[in-house]
A = this chain, B = another copy of it.
Amino acid sequence: MSEKTASTKVLSRHSRALVEWAVGLTFEDLPGDVVDRTKDFFVDWLGCAIAGREHISVKSMVEYAKAMGPVSGNCELVGFPDFRTSPAFAALVNAASSHVVEQDDLHNSSMMHPATIVFPTALAVAREVGASGKDFITACVVGYEFTCRTGEFLGKAHYEKFHTTATTGIIGAAAIAAYLLRLHVDQFESAIGTAGTQASGLWQFLTDATHAKQVHTAHACAGGVFSAYVAKSGLLGSVEILEGTRGMAATLGSEDPQPKYLDDALGQKWSVLGSSFKWHASCRHTHPSVDALIGLMKDEKLNHRDIESITSHTYKAAINVLSLSAAGQTVHQSKFSMGFVLAVAAKYGMARISDFTEDALLDSELRDLQSRVSMVLDPTIDAVFPEKWLGRLIVTTRDGRTLTRGVDVVKGDPEWPLTRGEIQSKAISLGKYGHVQDLDVFKRTIGRVWDLESQSPLDIFSFA
């Protein structure tokens, strides 16, 4: 049964330009800082994946992989050294585990978390095809461009309805797999089309602290792998899934999609350089307020008991997302409660992963201060979001003062990235959280990442 497609005269489209650029990209095209930052985020991601491996959502997906997948394979699950599988299942599980502890990177202007999509997919497919370290890095850079640019294109109205990490994630995962499978331009575009029509991810989980966040990244990565493999076998995906009249922007809540973001300054503006490390262990929307509070308390020599109230001036997307978890009933929700997070930061001077625990949920001092935190929409701050994630606090003190502090840049932002020492230290701390048995082996693995481009084929996973 042969079947032609409709005449698809391909016009000059922004998404097509992005695909054509990706197909032609080689490691030699990448500036040194792009290569370095990609490796930085890979180390950061490894820590996140290890830290999340004991979560029930991850364990349940490992069981699923064992029930549905092959009994052996080329692809590792981070933190599960006794099991290898096929790329789809490896991408599925690693995507879930690296999106558990709220410590993975965040790309500001696209409002999505790239690493939890990029590295699971690239690692799985690279291992399957025996790709070199250089090709792996290049595929990751392609993944950053597709996820982040799609997020910028879809915009903040889309983000208000959909978990953008999921919806742009499947696009990025398809692009990574398509790159590593060496699809030609039309096949690559088919992969993007097949991915886009499977884009999904609702915010409902924030209201009841269930595990869709991990399902979203898992589906995005596994679905992206699927989309590229079937494209290679001839399945045709829509050529205009992003910009088309019945495509993603038109259907999934975008209000003013900007196709120009898809191919703006390709090869000059690198999305991986626009992503932020997370230093605090809470939702990224809380970070400007956290940094403002810590700075203000330090300068004013305040103790958390000195604080009468805190008003966080922020942007609409933060209020939308954080309001869904405002009560902070669970550990996960507490990282999404502005009040609880600021209470933690006030009490401990930081907001580490070890500060969000079942015990902390029962800390009446934290709960009391939480109740005296409010958020207000600040039109000035909202106007520049998501290009800038600004924050401004007004703190009243028990002794009657009113203090104000704003921040433009938070620690971990592209303008203030973590050092390699900080990155390694954060990863090791996450490794401890995830009960890595032999930290020295983990450290040696990290050491090998810094020299990733010398490996051919890629083979770093001796640590377990």
Please list the residues of chain A having a beta carbon within 8 angstroms of any beta carbon in chain B. 1-8, 54-57, 59-61, 63-64, 67-71, 86-89, 100, 161-162, 190, 193-194, 196-212, 214-216, 219, 223, 225-226, 229-231, 233-241, 244-248, 251, 253, 324, 327, 329-333, 358
Contacts and interface: CB of A to CB of B under 8 A. Distances in A.
16 contacts: A4-B331, A6-B329, A6-B330, A56-B233, A56-B235, A61-B230, A68-B87, A68-B88, A70-B70, A193-B205, A202-B251, A203-B251, A204-B244, A204-B246, A207-B238, A212-B238
Contacts of A216: 197-198
Given A5-B210, A198-B200, A238-B205, A86 B57 contact: no
A6 B247 contact: no
Q: Which 7 A-B pairs have the closest CB atoms?
A: A60-B233, A200-B200, A203-B246, A6-B209, A60-B235, A210-B236, A60-B230
Contacts of A68: 69-70, 86-89, 225-226, 229
Contact of A4 (B1, B61, B194, B330): B330
A193 B5 CA distance: 36
B212 A194 contact: yes
A208 B88 CA distance: 28
Contacts of A6: 207-209, 327, 329-330, 333
Nearest to A53: B1
Contacts of A161: 251
Given A60-B234, A89-B68, A197-B212, A248 B202 contact: yes
A86 B59 contact: no
Contacts of A240: 204, 207-208
Contacts of A247: 202, 204
B59 A234 contact: yes
B69 A86 contact: yes
Contacts of A225: 68
Given A207-B6, A223-B219, A57 B235 contact: yes
A219 B235 CA distance: 14
Contacts of A61: 230, 235
Given A86-B67, A219-B223, A244-B204, A212 B193 contact: yes
Indicate how many identical chains form the complex: 2
Residue of A7, A230, A234, A248 contacting most chain B CB atoms (<10 Å)? A230
Contacts of A8: 208
Given A207-B244, A246-B204, A64 B229 contact: yes
A204 B238 contact: yes
A87 B210 CA distance: 25
Contacts of A253: 251
A226 B88 CA distance: 13
Contact of A198 (B89, B203, B211, B215): B215
A209 to B, nearest CB: 4
B197 A201 contact: yes
B193 A210 contact: yes
A47 to B, nearest CB: 15
A197 B235 CA distance: 25
Contact of A211 (B2, B209, B236, B244): B236
B251 A162 contact: yes
Nearest to A163: B197
B196 A331 contact: no
Contact of A235 (B162, B200, B215): B215
Contacts of A215: 194, 197-198, 230, 235, 237
Nearest to A205: B238
Contact of A246 (B88, B238, B244, B324): B324
Contacts of A331: 3-4
Given A67-B229, A212-B238, A197 B207 contact: no
Nearest to A88: B68
A210 B233 contact: no
A235 to B, nearest CB: 4
A55 B161 CA distance: 36
Nearest to A435: B1
A234 B1 CA distance: 43
A190 B210 contact: yes
Given A59-B234, A194-B215, A196-B202, 19 more contacts: A2-B358, A4-B358, A6-B209, A6-B327, A57-B236, A63-B230, A67-B229, A68-B88, A193-B212, A197-B204, A197-B215, A198-B201, A202-B241, A203-B246, A204-B245, A208-B239, A210-B236, A210-B239, A215-B235
